[in-house]
Structure 1
Amino acid sequence: MKADLRLDLKRTALLVVDLQEDQRSDPLCVADNLDQVLANAAQLLEAARAHGVAVFHAAFVRDFDTRPPRPFEPRADDGGPAFSAKGSPLVAICPEVAPLADEVVIHKNDASAFEEGSLDGRLKALDVEWLVIAGVWTEACIAASVRDAMAAGFRVLLVKDACTSGTPAMHQTGMLNIANRLYGGAIGDTGRAVALLRGAPANVWRNTFPVPFRFRLTNVETMYDSL
């Protein structure tokens, strides 16, 4: 259902996940519609910075010295990480959404932005209630970050058009799967999220009961558009 929401900006943070150069140039990582997602994420950053909202960035940097290879994890021919390897220039955050000097950048070795271990404590130290999330990939790193945020007690505002995946279908089904269990959270587009980050109210989608979207291949797009 749609409902009006207003955020307490003193208890709100923005998390931008994995908007890195490999998402537009590494064949294993290329994300769909990335230019638009970067533009939308940049709008979120601008609004957050202008209104004193804490900003966090997460970047996937696979480092076998920090986290040894997992069973069955894909590897490159040299035995190193298959993608997003530590030291690669492609792990750099895209300049369109580059962190400012005083913004926290978390380097993670797994899907969730909470994997590195410090994000939970950093957010709680700021008394954050709402965590606004944008980035890639919807069904992977975004879904894992949302799940861990909820488990840690944060409400999540997921910005649907500031996220993406490998294809539109992957993104849309991923977003609907998250929505089905986004208890206590909300989903809105960039325009609504920007309004919220400026302290204004906005009408967003809220989850009121489990699994509201029993989607089929024939109606995924329609249901996604209703978010």
Structure 2
Amino acid sequence: MSDWKKAFRSFYYETAEDPEDIALERRHTAVLVIDIQNTYLEPKDDPEEQRRWQPFFDRMSGTVIPNCARLIDWARAEGIEVMYARIACQTEDGRDRSLSQKKPGFNYLLLPKDRTDSQIVDALAPRGDEIVVTKTTDSALTGTNLRLMLRNIGITHVIVAGIFTDQCVSSTVRSLADESFDVLVVHDACAAATDALHERELEIINMIYCHVVGLDDLPGFLTGAG
């Protein structure tokens, strides 16, 4: 277990007192897995780009996907709501996308909703009636009715995992915090393009918009009988 009360502190919180203990009620807690889709695991055509991205691919296959699978299995066993967000546009040409996904460069994303590359990876596939929202925005709240569904279900605490830590994860966390949800980010079930970006973003959002915790910390936060 990590010392989550001390880890990932930015300048703003270097001298702050420790946060209170976290208490999660199963029926008011949801796990949200963000954007772990086939497109992000596809090999790069250019060998140099493949080399640049190899550490990310290694983290995804060796850490993030296995830990997200553990997180999902744990949540299902505990009766905690499991939800997903993925990037997917409704139109084949992507005319419904937000501006950020139409700009040239890395964040240019054309992922029609029925295409294979837009689907959640098989290892983390939703089961039964688990909710999946599709978005053409970074934040899973901004471009969907996720906010309404969380409120309807009675969720107050959201456990977040997925990619990319410094983009869609961070945007979603900030939106959730602004809507007064209590948010936990599972640092060993997330990734950015590099470990440096990942860790820096965790420092930025920790203790302001969320608490950054480890996967093994979560069982100790549960209250009451299962």
TM-score (normalised: structure 1): 0.76
Offset at 1:4?
A: 2.8
User: d(CA) in 1 for partners of 2:208 and 2:134?
Assistant: 27
Write out aligned runs for 1:100-179 (5 A).
Answer: 100-179=127-206
Alignment-mate amino acid for residue 69 of structure 2:
A
Q: 5+ unaligned residues in a row in structure 2: which ranges?
A: 1-17
- Please name the residue that 1:85 is paired with: 111
- Please name the residue that 1:14 is paired with: 31
User: d(CA) in 1 for partners of 2:195 and 2:219?
Assistant: 23
Write out aligned runs for 1:180-195 (5 A).
Answer: 181-182=208-209, 185-195=210-220
Percent of paired sites with the same residue: 25
- Secondary structure of 1:6's counterpart equals coil
Give the total of aligned pairs.
Answer: 193
- Please name the residue that 1:59 is paired with: 86
Offset at 1:21?
A: 1.2
User: d(CA) in 2 for partners of 1:150 and 1:125?
Assistant: 17
Q: By percentage of residues, which structure has more helix?
A: 2
Q: 1:52 to 1:110 in 2, by over 3 A?
A: same
User: d(CA) in 2 for partners of 1:106 and 1:119?
Assistant: 7
Deviations for 1:79-122, whole angstroms, at most 9, x for unmatched residues? xx943521542111111111112101111101111133210000
User: d(CA) in 1 for partners of 2:122 and 2:78?
Assistant: 21
User: d(CA) in 2 for partners of 1:92 and 1:191?
Assistant: 28
Offset at 1:177?
A: 1.0
User: d(CA) in 2 for partners of 1:82 and 1:71?
Assistant: 5
- Please name the residue that 2:12 is paired with: none
Contact 1:44 1:194 in 2 (8 A): no
Alignment-mate amino acid for residue 61 of structure 1:
A
Contact 1:60 1:108 in 2 (8 A): yes
Q: 1:159 to 1:130 in 2, by over 3 A?
A: same
Contact 2:100 2:108 in 1 (8 A): no
Offset at 1:195?
A: 4.2
- Secondary structure of 1:117's counterpart equals coil
Contact 1:106 1:116 in 2 (8 A): no
- Please name the residue that 1:25 is paired with: 42
User: d(CA) in 2 for partners of 1:157 and 1:62?
Assistant: 28
Q: 5+ unaligned residues in a row in structure 1: which ranges?
A: 201-227
User: d(CA) in 2 for partners of 1:125 and 1:26?
Assistant: 40
TM-score (normalised: structure 2): 0.76
- Please name the residue that 2:103 is paired with: 73
User: d(CA) in 2 for partners of 1:88 and 1:68?
Assistant: 19
- Please name the residue that 1:203 is paired with: none
Alignment-mate amino acid for residue 64 of structure 2:
V
